Each structure stands twice: as C-alpha cells, then as structure tokens.
Amino acid sequence: MATQSLTLNNGYKMPLVGLGSWQVTSPEECKDTIRAALDAGYRHIDTAYAYQNEAFIGEVLQEYFKAGKLRREDIFVTTKLWVTYHEKDRVPLCIVESLQKLQLDYVDMYLIHLPVGLRETGKGKPFPLDENNTPAFQDVLLTDTWKGMEQVARCGQAKSIGVSNFNMEQIERICKIAEIIPATNQVECHLYLQQEKLFQFLKEKGITVTAYSPLGSPTRPAHILKEGAPRVLDDPVAKDLATKYKRSVGQILLRYLVQRGMIVIPKSSNPSRILENVKVFDFELSGEDMSKLSAQDKKLRFFTILEFKGHSEYPFDEPL
C-alpha cells in the first residue's frame, strides 16, 4: 500500500505515515519490526542517535537494497541530533556517527532532538550527569546549534533539517537567523494534546508538524505513566467513530491527525498493527466527525521530561 506524502518547504516530499522506533532496542525485535513495516508499505522510518537502534535499522535497509526490494530514494529516513552535540562544531560529529550506523550517505530529515543541551561527562547515558548526579546542563545558543544543522544540510548529509520538542518562542528565534527554515517540528500530538495553537503558528511559517505518540503512547515506560491518566485509545468518541467507519480506534486517531495535515509516526512492533496503522488513506472523516474529535482535546501532555525542568531552554512551560 502506497502512503501519501506531504511537500515540505524545500520541495522534498515526506510520507505522511512513518514508523516510530523509540523503545525498539533489542536487535532482533528492531530488525523484525523494520522488515514488517517495509513489507507493509512504509517508506518513512523515524529513529534517533539516542534510541540506540540505528545500526539495526541500517542492517535491514542494506538487506532490502541488496535484494532489490528497495532503492535508497524510495525510503525517507529521519534521525536526530543528541543533546550532547549542540555546539555548532559538534553537530557534524553526531550525524557522521548516525550515518555510519545507518550505512547511509545522507538522511532525509535531521532534527535537533530537544532544545536542551547537556555536556558529556562520561557519567549517565543517554542523559549525562554532573558531580551531584543531576543532569549536566549546558547552555548552548539554539541559534548556534541551528547554524551547525544548516552546515549539515549544505554538505548533503541531510536533505532536510528540522527540530523536535521546540516551542513557538524557540522556533521564532531560529527563524530570525535561519538561512534554511526548519522543515518540521516533531512534537507529542494526539487526541488529548492536539497542539492547534502550535500547528497554526508553524503553518504560517511553512513548517510542518510531525506527531510523535499519535496514539497516546500506550506502551510508554512506567516512570512516564501517571496513575489515573486517561488512555487515548479508550476515548469514547473515537470508539464510536471506529464502529461507524468499521475501522480500529487507532486508525481513527491517525486519520484525524493526517486529515488535519500532520505527519504521524506511530510506533508498534506488532506486524498486524503495523499494517493497520498505515491503512488510513482509503477513508475520510466527515467535517462533523472531525469537529467531534477536535472537541476531545484535553491539552494533556504525557511527555513533560521533568528532569530538564531547570534548564533555560526547557520547552514545555509555554501555554498550550
């Protein structure tokens, strides 16, 4: 099944549905997941330096290239700059390592993973700790990091560059000095955190939204799960619409975001669920049903990354 694409502000096309790979760190599980996604028709894989699975993804891509099942230009690969590489001259070091692991000459999208910078201390992975066992905060100007990202784009290591977990003020700061405007901002976005204010702000600047945890991250780690937090997949309105359209609740939730004009990167290791998640292009939600889903917004953020709360660039204090 072919997935539809969205044209970015630099003319490149980005598939609207991709496979998220966070938490898929066991070699065999990761490789089986990537194979299942490619076989299901996915042509967009999202990873990151910090996920520690780039090498496994690279192995599968090479396997498919060599078998003639896939050409490099057919697959859109996103990876991300980690927080310990924010200095302008360290940005290239991080992408070189990612490219080596992915066994690629370039990635299609390279993102600043978080606006918060940390210094490498040799203690604590992936979040370095200082001598007091607290995050080793480092203040690097985001505008300097962005200049490093632009260099990566200019030398062809990334076709497109963007950001992740940035708020409006941080995006505004980058756009003021940017020679290359960010192509996307990857943020948590789902039925209970619809990000309409941020979405409209980015739309005016020609920047797309890539929604991570578009199903509300039902398998997020225990330390992130808050007791009593509502489960997006149990939403009564989404459940009613799933019955009406003869679809799964997950497909309704993904279709809602895609129909709003967002890119989605659901994560699953289950082959049947992987296939289901990409089948969102053969039906359309009515305007009335889109409004019903819009009314379900709770402005509820699951990923607050409170360890970074004291950092000058902590992004999540901005009103939603």
Q: What residues are annotated to the active site?
A: 51
CA–centroid distance for 40 within its chain: 20
CA 199 from centre of chain: 15
Burial pattern 71-110, b for ≥16 Cβ within 10 A else e, equals eeeebbbbbbbbbbbbbbebbbebbeebbebbebebbbbb
- Whose tokens are 């003021």? That residue is 176
- Report how far residue 51's alpha carbon sits from residue 10's, in angstroms, rounded to the nearest whole number: 27
What burial class does residue 183 get, using C-beta atoms within 10 Å of its C-beta: 0-12 exposed, 13-18 middle, 19+ buried?
buried
The residue whose two tokens read 């690097």 is 140
The single-letter DSSP state of residue 318 is S
